[in-house]
Chain A
């Protein structure tokens, strides 16, 4: 079976972006970029399916500028067989990304698309569900366990009250949550090899997809900082303040 793993290149999770002074957007210039952590988990899961022999090919794709090739090289070093860049300078929103991925899925015909449940920049949590709808495929979001047989995927999902298990007919789309696995580090020889690997570049403009953003950013701002707190120096003092806040009265 063939697997497709879409990957987004985002500002590294440990870094904090700045809001531009005029409120027009965020300033991420000069910040280190990394593979979206949820996509890294999705990729690891796919690599494991590839290594176990359940999958025979693993294709990774990223949508964005030529610079996104860097994250595709990381994916190749982690174990992907082939990488595709759908290239555009347009700032893509999830609906457009899902449409681009749909065109690639229709060309590649994977049995399973595994992708991160959300990107840590826009925090939208939309693209996997949108892609599944556009393809008319079933979806299992927020996966914490994935078991693939010949024709189905059995997926445990993290939901608000606990866990839920679904069986999906393949082809299907699965979105990865944090506890699906712990991604590996690519080995140095694989990183070196991936540097020379070919990456297929598809201009997004040629795919007949409407890429224009549907949502307009009016402004961005930093959240109100919380007023400075106080340190108390004893459990008694803390308990007194808490009793007050809880409306428990002041008696000791």
Chain B
């Protein structure tokens, strides 16, 4: 049983690591998916553990929402690319305060 929990936490950690290190938006979305899947795995696992369908149904919702979120995220990135002709996230610094402080 704990193997499954370990897999799910591994997925979470890998996802966070990917989110913090990758500069490519696609890869970051994939990392987010990893985190989601880790959480879903947890839900399913505990659902089986306590013989309840709540967790599984929540996991189904979560998968659907994740799909929507990916679609939304990709849409935003496409729009950004059209606007700025770049996708590297570190180059988008318009929300920073540096102009004001300079």
- A and B: interacting chains: no
Give the B-binding residues of A (Cβ under 8 A): none
Which B residues have a C-beta under 8 Å from some C-beta of A? none
